[in-house]
Amino acid sequence: MSPISSHRARLTGAKLIALVGITASFLMLADHHRASAYEADRNPAASGQRFVLTGGARAASLAPDTVRGVVFDSLANVPLVDAFVTAEPGGATASTDSLGQFVIVSDARVTQLSAFHESLDDTGISGLVAQRPADAARWTDAQLTTPSMLTVWRGVCAAEYENEAFQGVLVGTVVLPDGRTRIPDARIRVQYQVILPSTGLAQIQEREARSDSLGNYAVCGTPSAGELALLGTTGTAESSPVLVELVERPVRRVDLVLAPVDGPINRWPTLSGQVVSEDGSPIPNARLSVAGKDSLVVTDSSGNFTVPEVRPGSRMISVQADGHIPVSSPVNVLYDAVPELTIGMARVFNIPGLEGITITQRTAIRPARRAFEERRKAGVAVFLDSTAVLTAGSVREALSEMPFLEVRRSLASEDSTQFEVLGRGFGLGVQSCQAFVFLDGLLVENLVINEVTADAVAAIELYRGAAQVPPPFAEFVDRDCSAVLLWSRYGLRP
């Protein structure tokens, strides 16, 4: 996978092939203690193998040479098919076969091999490098492998994992929307859902970390596979909650862009591009939503779309189209240099001869939506649907009309329009308390509620006190106060 080098980035399946506006330098782990996590398990002197994040120096040409070897991904425990291998000196190249094997014929004696594969980009690995053993007359067993998960943990997490089901590692860099200013001491929170073996009930758990002086972070001990929600915050800037999924590899690089919370934000960019099917044909009437925007955008007859005035920061973008698998992915929106997006969607059915038939899509209900419907049927909470919120005119007015809540001007902000939500205290003489606020299932700061517009809300559920809060959220309610769960149209999508 290549960094952005043209006016288009490609979004395919459930991920962006390139993050909007992030330069190639942010695709590498910058500080030396994280780079040390990716040293190979083998002895470099014995095997001639090492792993680096940048290319090595060009060696002098000596003699014609034929080199054989294999490229292997230790993180996924599979050979890397179609990896691009280059030889130095001379620049001879080859691609790996279905077994990850390659043969390079060079006019010069090869002293170094480099291998690249797009599947490694999401891990922060930009290339694998192997050096020829000094005493090797022939090089017929070259091995270019990613570091093992144990090596990653020892280097990045400074520990060894105890549970293979929770050996996931998220790494990345935190920057401001200018794309250059790194943010130290940012709080990175990762939440995920687990099923408790004892009860069979779902529970939300959380891990967190702080970015270092270079803006790099590492969160260790997440589930090795599954969907994770990330949120980056400081005292003055934050990202939107973004969702990522660990599938083949338990290591994932997620760079975050944090936008200022208070004050005017200038240079809000426009996102534009095209939605296409697997064969490259445009998809008209596809529906796009971007976190923080009030309404959906629909593609035209050529599959083109334009989303104006998108707030900078890490945002979720989702696309739905009849007969195609929905696409959702984080996108990093910067002030400037926002490329166009080409969003590829796979068909739900791909049966020869039926290409011209419109298929009405029917997908399984997402766990978050299913759990919401079950809670609504239980009748424990107070619920407002999107119609009630729109009728109220604003989220603030809608909350003001709900029982057990008090909405007032925020004492933590100089902006007179900012408000906070309090739960009305229980018992005689008990003062009001700051309510817990969850946005799409993720616990957020109370003031984040000011960012939510009425058009973006799908539903609001309110629990009077800690005893009523359902198990997935109860773990984060550490005092007896009201809890407000806001669900966006994206969060409660089918």
The one-letter amino acid code at 214 reads L
Give the pairing of strands 216-222 and 242-246. unpaired
* Percentage of the chain modeled with pLDDT above 90: 23
Short-list 11, 20, 17, CA closest to 288:
11
Strand partners for 300: none
pLDDT tens, 370-406? 788 888 888 888 999 888 888 888 999 999 988 888 8
- Please give the pLDDT value at position 269: 82
Short-list 194, 214, 213, CA closest to 204:
194
pLDDT tens, 84-93? 999 998 888 9
Short-list 468, 411, 459, CA closest to 436:
468
> Rg of the chain's alpha carbons, rounded to an integer?
25
pTM of the entire predicted model = 0.58
Q: Which of 90-94, 275-279, 314-318, 475-479 has the lowest mean pLDDT?
A: 475-479
SS3 of residue 348 by DSSP = coil
409-417: average pLDDT = 79
pLDDT tens, 46-84? 333 333 333 333 333 344 889 999 999 998 888 999 999
Element (DSSP H or E) covering residue 307:
strand 304-307
SS3 of residue 6 by DSSP = coil
User: Token match 């309404």: residue?
Assistant: 295
Q: How sure is the predictor about 22, in pLDDT bands with cuts at 50, 70 and 90?
A: very low
Q: What is the DSSP letter of 30?
A: -
User: Token match 């007896």: residue?
Assistant: 480
Report the distance separating Cα 265 and Cα 12, nearest Å.
30
DSSP code per residue over 175-222: E-TTSS-B-TT-EEEEEEEEE-TTT--EEEEEEEEE--TTSEEEEEEE
| Helices and strands, number each (H, E), in the chain | 7, 36
- Please give the pLDDT value at position 41: 37
- Please give the pLDDT value at position 139: 92
Q: What is the DSSP letter of 435?
A: P
- Please give the pLDDT value at position 426: 47
SS3 of residue 423 by DSSP = strand
Report the distance separating Cα 455 and Cα 389, nearest Å.
8
Report the distance separating Cα 160 and Cα 171, nearest Å.
17
324 vs 143, residue with greater confidence: 143
Q: How sure is the predictor about 366, in pLDDT bands with cuts at 50, 70 and 90?
A: low
Contacts of 182 (CB under 8 A, 6+ apart): 173, 174, 175, 211, 214, 215, 216
100-127: average pLDDT = 88
285 pLDDT higher than 60: yes
Report the distance separating Cα 271 and Cα 310, nearest Å.
7
SS3 of residue 358 by DSSP = coil
Q: How sure is the predictor about 112, in pLDDT bands with cuts at 50, 70 and 90?
A: very high
Q: How high does pLDDT run on average in the chain?
A: 77
Report the distance separating Cα 14 and Cα 224, nearest Å.
18
Domains of the chain as residue ranges with CATH:
40-146 (2.60.40.10), 150-254 (2.60.40.10), 367-488 (2.170.130.10)
257 pLDDT higher than 80: yes
35-43: average pLDDT = 35
- Please give the pLDDT value at position 51: 33
Angle at 169 between CA 164 and CA 170, to 5 degrees: 155
Listing from the earlier edge strand, what are the strands of the sheet with 442-444? 382-385, 457-463, 483-488, 436-439, 442-444
User: Token match 């996590």: residue?
Assistant: 37
Short-list 112, 91, 109, 107, CA closest to 48:
112
What are the distances in angstroms from CA 449 to CA 133, 245, 312, 318, 438? 60, 26, 18, 21, 9
SS3 of residue 105 by DSSP = strand
* Percentage of the chain modeled with pLDDT above 70: 79
- Please give the pLDDT value at position 494: 63
Contacts of 158 (CB under 8 A, 6+ apart): none
DSSP code per residue over 141-185: EEEEEPPPHHHHIIIIISS--S-GGG-EEEEEEEE-TTSS-B-TT
